[in-house]
C-alpha cells in the first residue's frame, strides 16, 4: 500500500516536471551588456573591463587599417 502511494506520488511529480518551461525574461545580449556596465562600475573590476574594451577597439582599428591598405581589394 505504501509502495503504491509512493509510486503514484513519483509519477505525479514526473508529470508535473514535464510541463512547459518559461521563456527567459531578458535575452542573452542584453544581459551581457548590462553585466559589462555593472562590472565597469565596480571598485576593482572596472579597470580590467575598460582595458579589455580598449584593447578590443584597438584590434578593430588595426584590422580596419589593414583592410584599407590591402592591395588586392
Which residues form the domain of 72?
A: 28-73
pLDDT (average), residues 14-24:
65
Rounded Cα distance between 62 and 72, Å, is 18
Residue in 37, 59, 57, 61 with CA at minimum distance from that of residue 49: 37
Based on C-alpha coordinates, what's the Rg of the chain?
26
| Residue 17 domain-assigned (yes or no) | no
Helices of type H across the chain: 2-17, 28-41, 46-68
User: What would the mean pLDDT of 49-69 be, rounded to a whole number?
Assistant: 91
Domain count, the chain: 1
Is 63 within a domain?
yes
In a domain, 9, yes or no: no
pLDDT band at 17 (very low <50, low <70, confident <90, very high): low
Amino acid at each position: 500500500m505504501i509502495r503504491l502511494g509512493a509510486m503514484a506520488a513519483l509519477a505525479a511529480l514526473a508529470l508535473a516536471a514535464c510541463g512547459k518551461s518559461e521563456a527567459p525574461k531578458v535575452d542573452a545580449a542584453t544581459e551581457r551588456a548590462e553585466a559589462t556596465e555593472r562590472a565597469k562600475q565596480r571598485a576593482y573590476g572596472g579597470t580590467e573591463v575598460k582595458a579589455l574594451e580598449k584593447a578590443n577597439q584597438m584590434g578593430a582599428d588595426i584590422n580596419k587599417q589593414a583592410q584599407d591598405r590591402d592591395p588586392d581589394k
